[in-house]
A = this chain, B = another copy of it.
Amino acid sequence: MSHPDSESELTRRALLPAGLRDVLPLDAAHEARVIEALLAQCAAHGYDRVKPPLVEFEASLFAGPGAAMSDKTFRLMDPVSQKMMGVRADMTVQIARIATTRLKSEPRPLRLCYAGEVLRVSANQLSPERELVQVGAELLGGDSVAADVEPILLAVEALRSIGVQNLSVDLTAPRVIPVLLGEAELDPDTLAALRAAIDRKHASEVSKLAGPMEPVLTDLMAAAGAWQDSLKQLQSVSLPEAARAAIDRIASIAESVSAVEPELAMTIDPVENRGFEYYTGYGFSLFSRGVRGELGRGGRYRVDGGEGLRSAGFTLYMETVMRALPEPVRPDRLYLPFGTSAETARALRAEGWITIAGLDKEGEPALEASRLGCSHLLKDGAPAAL
Binds B, one of A172-180, A207-215, A270-278, A350-358: A350-358
Does chain B have a CB within 8 A of A78?
A: yes
Tell me whether A103 and B24 are in contact (CB under 8 A). Answer: yes
Q: How far is the CA of A56 from the CA of B36 in the complex (A)?
A: 26
Residues of B with C-beta under 8 A to A142: 359-360
Tell me whether B28 and A104 are in contact (CB under 8 A). Answer: no
Residues of B with C-beta under 8 A to A36: 32, 36
CB distance from A353 to the nearest CB of B (A): 8
Tell me whether B10 and A29 are in contact (CB under 8 A). Answer: no
Tell me whether A51 and B76 are in contact (CB under 8 A). Answer: no
Q: A36-B32, A59-B13 are in contact. Are A18 and B81 (CB under 8 A)?
A: yes
Q: Which one of B24, B112, B122, B338 lies within 8 Å of A80 (CB-CB)?
A: B122
Residues of B with C-beta under 8 A to A14: 97, 101-102
Does chain B have a CB within 8 A of A240?
A: no
Q: How far is the CA of A121 from the CA of B82 in the complex (A)?
A: 12
Residues of B with C-beta under 8 A to A122: 79-80
Q: Which of A76-108 contact B (CB under 8 A)?
A: 76, 78-81, 83, 85, 87, 94, 97-98, 100-104, 107
Residues of B with C-beta under 8 A to A372: 107
Tell me whether A23 and B46 are in contact (CB under 8 A). Answer: no
Residues of B with C-beta under 8 A to A76: 74, 76, 87
CB distance from A86 to the nearest CB of B (A): 11
- Residue of B with least CB distance to A18: B80
Tell me whether B359 and A55 are in contact (CB under 8 A). Answer: no
Tell me whether B10 and A104 are in contact (CB under 8 A). Answer: yes
Tell me whether B57 and A15 are in contact (CB under 8 A). Answer: yes
Tell me whether A101 and B10 are in contact (CB under 8 A). Answer: yes
Tell me whether A342 and B153 are in contact (CB under 8 A). Answer: yes
Q: Which one of B54, B80, B357 lies within 8 Å of A45 (CB-CB)?
A: B357
Q: Which one of B29, B39, B353, B360 lies within 8 Å of A49 (CB-CB)?
A: B29
Does chain B have a CB within 8 A of A1?
A: no
Q: A98-B24, A102-B24, A131-B54 are in contact. Are A80 and B19 (CB under 8 A)?
A: yes
Q: Known contacts A17-B81, A44-B355; can you find 12 more A-B pairs with CB under 8 A?
A: A14-B102, A16-B60, A20-B55, A22-B50, A22-B98, A29-B43, A32-B51, A45-B357, A46-B356, A54-B87, A142-B360, A260-B342
A interface list, Cβ under 8 A from B: 10-26, 28-29, 31-32, 36, 39, 43-46, 48-57, 59-60, 63, 74, 76, 78-81, 83, 85, 87, 94, 97-98, 100-104, 107, 109, 111-112, 114-115, 117, 119, 121-122, 131, 142, 144, 146-147, 150, 153, 157, 260, 333, 338, 342, 346, 349, 353-360, 371-373
Q: List 27 A-B residue pairs with CB atoms under 8 Å apart, sorted by A's residue number.
A: A10-B100, A11-B101, A12-B59, A14-B97, A14-B101, A14-B102, A15-B60, A17-B78, A17-B85, A20-B53, A22-B50, A22-B53, A23-B50, A23-B52, A24-B102, A28-B114, A32-B36, A32-B49, A46-B354, A46-B355, A54-B54, A54-B87, A55-B74, A76-B87, A79-B121, A144-B359, A150-B357
Which 7 pairs show the lowest CB-CB distances between chains A and B? A25-B48, A14-B101, A23-B51, A20-B53, A46-B356, A29-B49, A28-B51
